[in-house]
């Protein structure tokens, strides 16, 4: 199927070009830019609400969903600058969609821009959006075998946040196994434990993020 492969690679190449322009846009403004990727419901928006409570309008968020603006509404209510992309069915965001939102508003005062990707462990992992790094969120309710089964994300994520750790006593989730599998895929990954319900781990996450060079 050489024709199909060439169409796919040309679409990816176009996306990568726009992603490079987005990266330059972030760099010019001294903004740190990261891409949150996880399965649906792992806690991306909850973490962004917690970050918004700390960073206020210094946090910008471009959040993607198939439909509805619930997530952007929640994040804006928590104090950050937020906009929603509704893809209408597509399972990942593209660099072009991000570019459009970067140019559509001033983003005055934003120091950290988080792109909350569509809940999906597969497609978002391979589409560059212009971020400087990816962060994987893995909730303890999903199963400890997910890093081994969905390596595309865990290979590429600079940090893996194990979320909802307040639920650990109630689920069969082997933290050591999940973390071992993450490190097999990326020995340099930063591993952190978080609970947005209790606040555990939020200081460590914010500290790591603030020290990560732009």
Ligand X SMILES: Nc1nc2c(ncn2[C@@H]2O[C@H](COP(=O)(O)OP(=O)(O)OP(=O)(O)O)[C@@H](O)[C@H]2O)c(=O)[nH]1
Residues near ligand X (CB under 6 A): 38, 40-46, 71, 119, 163-164, 166-167, 195-197
For residue 65, what is the DSSP state? E
Nearer to ligand X, 114 or 189 (CB): 114
User: What string of DSSP letters covers 137-199?
Assistant: EEETTS-TTHHHH-HHHHHHEEEEEEE-GGGGGGS---HHHHHHHHHHH-TT-EEEE--TTT-
Q: What residue 38 binds from ligand X, Mg ion, none (CB within 5 to 8 A, per partner kind)? A: ligand X
- 78, 53 Cβ separation under 8 angstroms: yes
Return the range that interacts with Mg ion (CB under 5 A); candidates 43-51, 54-62, 178-186, 199-207: 43-51
Nearer to Mg ion, 118 or 202 (CB): 118
Nearer to ligand X, 46 or 81 (CB): 46
Q: Is residue 74 a contact residue for Mg ion (CB under 5 A)?
A: no
Nearer to Mg ion, 80 or 185 (CB): 80
- 116, 63 Cβ separation under 8 angstroms: yes
Return the range that interacts with Mg ion (CB under 5 A); candidates 27-35, 67-75, 149-157, 170-178: 67-75
Q: CB under 8 Å to 76, separation ≥6 — which residues?
A: 82
- 52, 75 Cβ separation under 8 angstroms: yes
Distance of CA 63 to the CA centre of its chain: 9
Nearer to Mg ion, 7 or 68 (CB): 68
Burial class (CB in 10 A: 0-12, 13-18, 19+), 69: middle
Q: What residue 101 binds from Mg ion, ligand X, none (CB within 5 to 8 A, per partner kind)? A: none
Distance of CA 80 to the CA centre of its chain: 16
Q: What residue 64 binds from Mg ion, ligand X, none (CB within 5 to 8 A, per partner kind)? A: none
Which residue is associated with the tokens 């990326």?
Answer: 186
Nearest approach in angstroms of CB 102 to Mg ion is 20
Q: What residue 186 binds from Mg ion, ligand X, none (CB within 5 to 8 A, per partner kind)? A: none
Nearest approach in angstroms of CB 72 to Mg ion is 9
Nearer to ligand X, 18 or 112 (CB): 112
Residues contributing to the site for Mg ion (CB under 5 A): 44-45, 71
């Amino acid at each position: 199927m050489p024709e199909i492969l060439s169409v796919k690679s040309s679409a990816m190449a176009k996306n990568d070009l726009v992603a490079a322009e987005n990266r330059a846009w972030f760099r010019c403004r001294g903004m740190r830019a990261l891409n949150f990727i996880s399965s649906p419901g792992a806690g991306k928006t909850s973490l962004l609400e917690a970050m918004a409570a700390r960073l206020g309008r210094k946090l910008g968020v471009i959040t993607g969903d198939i439909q509805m603006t619930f997530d952007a509404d929640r994040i804006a209510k928590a104090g950050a600058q937020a906009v929603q992309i509704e893809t209408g069915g597509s399972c990942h965001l593209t660099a072009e969609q991000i570019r459009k939102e970067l140019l559509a508003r001033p983003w005055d005062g934003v120091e950290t821009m988080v792109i909350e990707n569509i809940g999906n462990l597969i497609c978002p992992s391979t589409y560059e959006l212009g971020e400087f790094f990816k962060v994987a969120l893995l909730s303890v309710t999903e199963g400890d075998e997910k890093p081994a089964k969905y390596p595309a994300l865990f290979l590429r994520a600079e940090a893996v946040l194990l979320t909802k750790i307040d639920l650990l006593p109630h689920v069969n989730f082997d933290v050591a196994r999940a973390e071992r599998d993450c490190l097999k895929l990326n020995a340099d990954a930063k591993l952190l434990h978080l609970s947005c319900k209790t606040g555990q781990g939020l200081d460590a996450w914010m500290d790591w993020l603030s020290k990560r060079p732009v």
